[in-house]
């Protein structure tokens, strides 16, 4: 099973602000949906609460240390390893780490493929993407301009190791 991560990151490494995404990027949401649909996604409890529901047509593995946490329609896991092993045992071919910051920090050493949206702006925020560069090579890149549905221009990149 491939362990992948998917993230949108500003030029100053910001990924979130006040528990939410600090931008609206319609093209990025479409791309996220196209890439992750049909697969397992692994997310932190705070990211899950921001989204507010399980993402459809994906097995949602929600990480929390709270044994009583309920997430209807999701699989609640008490560790990253438990979620990865559950996805593997279910026959998943590619699982996606979808954040937030706490989950990316722990997972990036295990990730072999990174779907990176570079948000081409400096953005105020309070959570950051960790250092991740070692051993990765960029295999594709495409640009998208800002417009009425996309707050900033973006560059979509895929990196593997
Ligand atoms: N730009 C992007 O692509 C992107 C993507 C995703 C999220 N975000 C942003 O990131 C921010 C949220 O990130 P965050 O770091 O604050 O929170 P988070 O990573 O979404 O959630 C953290 C919580 O997940 C649980 N958790 C994390 N690691 C765990 C582990 N190994 N085992 C068990 N439970 C674990 C814990 O929940 P308990 O406290 O319940 O134990 C922890 O408090 C938001 O602003 C969101 O919008 C941005």
CATH label of the domain that carries residue 10: 3.40.430.10
* Ligand 1 atom nearest 15 alpha carbon: 1
How close is the Cα of 28 to the center of ligand 1, in Å? 20
Q: What is the pLDDT of residues 70-82, one digit of tens each?
A: 999 999 999 999 9
How many domains does the chain fold into? 1
How close is the Cα of 123 to the center of ligand 1, in Å? 19
73: left (phi over 0), alpha (psi -120 to 50) or beta: left
Q: What is the pLDDT of residues 18-51, one digit of tens each?
A: 999 999 999 999 999 999 999 999 999 999 999 9
- Model confidence band, residue 156 (pLDDT cutoffs 50, 70, 90): very high
Q: What is the pLDDT of residues 100-152, one digit of tens each?
A: 999 999 999 999 999 999 999 999 999 999 999 889 999 999 999 999 999 99
- CA separation (Å) from 39 to 68, 108, 157? 26, 18, 20
* Ligand 1 atom nearest 77 alpha carbon: 33
Measured torsion, CA atoms of residues 74, 64, 38, 110, in degrees rounded to the nearest 10: -160
Q: Residue 84 belongs to what domain range?
A: 2-160
For Cα atoms 35, 131, 133, give the angle at the middle one, nearest 5 degrees. Answer: 70
The Cα–Cα gap between 142 and 158 comes to 9
How close is the Cα of 48 to the center of ligand 1, in Å? 8
Pocket probe mutation, ligand 1, options 8, 12, 63, max atoms within 8 Å of Cβ: 63
């Amino acid at each position: 099973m491939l362990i992948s991560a998917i993230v949108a990151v500003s030029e100053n490494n910001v990924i979130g602000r006040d528990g939410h995404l600090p931008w609206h990027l319609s093209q990025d949401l479409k791309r996220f949906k196209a890439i992750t649909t049909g697969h397992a996604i692994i997310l932190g409890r705070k990211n899950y609460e921001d989204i507010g529901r399980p993402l459809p047509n994906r097995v949602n593995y929600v990480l929390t240390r709270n044994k009583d946490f309920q997430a209807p329609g999701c699989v609640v896991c008490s560790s990253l390893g438990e979620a990865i092993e559950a996805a593997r045992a279910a026959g998943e071919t590619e699982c996606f780490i979808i954040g937030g910051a706490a989950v990316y920090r722990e997972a990036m050493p295990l990730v072999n493929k990174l779907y990176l949206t570079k948000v081409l702006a400096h953005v105020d925020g309070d959570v950051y993407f960790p250092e991740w560069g070692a051993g990765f090579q960029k295999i594709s890149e495409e640009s998208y301009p800002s417009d009425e549905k996309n707050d900033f221009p973006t560059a979509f990149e895929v990196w593997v190791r």
